[in-house]
């Protein structure tokens, strides 16, 4: 997996990130950690590791992912959380799928053999609704739109022209993959509980922002279509 770089966004993950990096040692891939310069405790917690650290210029999860993947120099990238919830055993399966012809691979908790120890009733229902909106309005064939455990071709990701600097990026990625007609597939994955710390997602606020983003992107596309007529 020398041609793979993991992009790890981290915010207040000083308890989890060192354990995640320890677990990743046996996987021979490159690692870029993206965090804010004010997150001193997380920076200190990983001082014994030699991975590249990007100090993001702005705030937000989306901003961290965009900046991180823009710095990847390997053929493939994977978004990998700092909280210990993603299982690195899935990485080799994702890369195999890409080598078989997919541009992007989405890990999903809702296929057979997938699952979650971290989902709440609210995130489960919200995710189902957003995934359904993705299917109906954007014709996206994935079953877990918000998981955002995604691997893919680095150059193709950089071509997506992503813009959301917060958790709205989770839906912007699959929508723009679809609009660009890139090939994508899914693999089952089991989401583990966060090792420590608190989640950064605010289910109500971020859920509302994501819903607005879905409608905005839909109407943007309709407008583009009408202008072409
Ligand atoms: N650099 C950076 N990383 C962030 C930011 N917000 C979240 N993250 C990281 O992004 C990853 C996903 O965030 P989580 O808080 O775990 O959110 P989630 O996994 O989508 O949601 P939960 O199921 O609630 O855990 C984690 O590694 C966070 O540390 C941010 O503003 N900047
Ligand atoms: Mg998490």
Supply the DSSP string of 82-138, one letter for each residue: TTS-S-TTHHHHHHHHHHTT-SEEEEETTSTT-EESS--HHHHHHHHHHHHHHHHHH
Q: Whose CA is closest to atom 31 on ligand 1?
A: 60
Is pLDDT above 90 for 228? no
Of ligand 1's atoms, which has the minimum distance to the CA of residue 203? 24
At which residue do the structure tokens 């990625």 appear?
Answer: 173
Of ligand 1's atoms, which has the minimum distance to the CA of residue 198? 15
Tell me what the mean pLDDT of segment 65-77 comes to.
98
- Residue 123 has, within 13 A of its CA and on its CB side, a CA count of 17
Ligand 1 residue neighbourhood (C-beta within 6 Å): 9-11, 13, 34-36, 56, 59-61, 64, 81-83, 85, 118, 123, 194, 199-201
Bigger pLDDT: 164 vs 201: 164
Reported as type and span, the H/E element at residue 29 is none
pTM for the model: 0.96
Tell me what percent of the chain is helix, strand and coil, each rounded to the nearest 5: 40, 15, 40
Bigger pLDDT: 162 vs 201: 162
pLDDT score, position 221: 85
Of ligand 1's atoms, which has the minimum distance to the CA of residue 199? 15
Q: What percent of the chain has pLDDT above 90?
A: 90
| Digit-coded pLDDT (tens) for 146-195 | 999 999 999 999 999 999 999 999 999 999 999 999 999 999 999 999 99
Ligand 1 site-directed mutation target among 54, 200, 201, most atoms within 8 Å of CB: 200
pLDDT score, position 178: 97
Q: Whose CA is closest to atom 6 on ligand 1?
A: 61
Tell me what the mean pLDDT of segment 95-120 comes to.
95
Q: Cα angle at 214 between 210 and 215, to 5 degrees?
A: 120
Residue 27: partners with Cβ closer than 8 Å, 6 or more residues away = 1, 88, 91
CA distance 196 to 98: 32
């Amino acid at each position: 997996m020398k041609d793979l770089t993991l992009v790890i966004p981290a915010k207040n993950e000083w308890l989890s990130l060192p354990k995640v990096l320890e677990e990743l040692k046996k996987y021979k891939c490159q690692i870029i950690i993206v965090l804010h310069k004010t997150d001193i405790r997380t920076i200190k917690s990983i001082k014994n590791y030699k991975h590249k650290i990007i100090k993001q210029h702005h705030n937000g999860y989306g901003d961290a992912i965009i900046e991180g993947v823009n710095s990847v120099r390997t053929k493939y990238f994977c978004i990998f959380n700092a909280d210990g919830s993603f299982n690195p055993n899935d990485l080799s399966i994702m890369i195999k799928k890409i080598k078989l012809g997919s541009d992007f691979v989405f890990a999903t908790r809702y296929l057979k053999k997938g699952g979650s120890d971290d989902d709440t009733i609210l995130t489960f229902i919200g995710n189902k609704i957003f995934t359904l909106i993705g299917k109906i309005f954007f014709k996206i064939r994935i079953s877990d739109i918000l998981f955002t455990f995604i691997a893919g071709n680095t150059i193709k990701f950089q071509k997506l022209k992503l813009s959301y600097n917060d958790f709205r990026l989770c839906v912007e990625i699959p929508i723009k993959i679809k609009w660009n007609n890139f090939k994508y597939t899914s693999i089952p994955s089991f989401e583990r509980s966060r090792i420590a710390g608190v989640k950064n997602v605010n289910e109500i606020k971020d859920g509302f922002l994501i819903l607005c983003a879905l409608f905005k992107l839909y109407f943007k596309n309709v407008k583009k279509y009408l202008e072409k007529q």
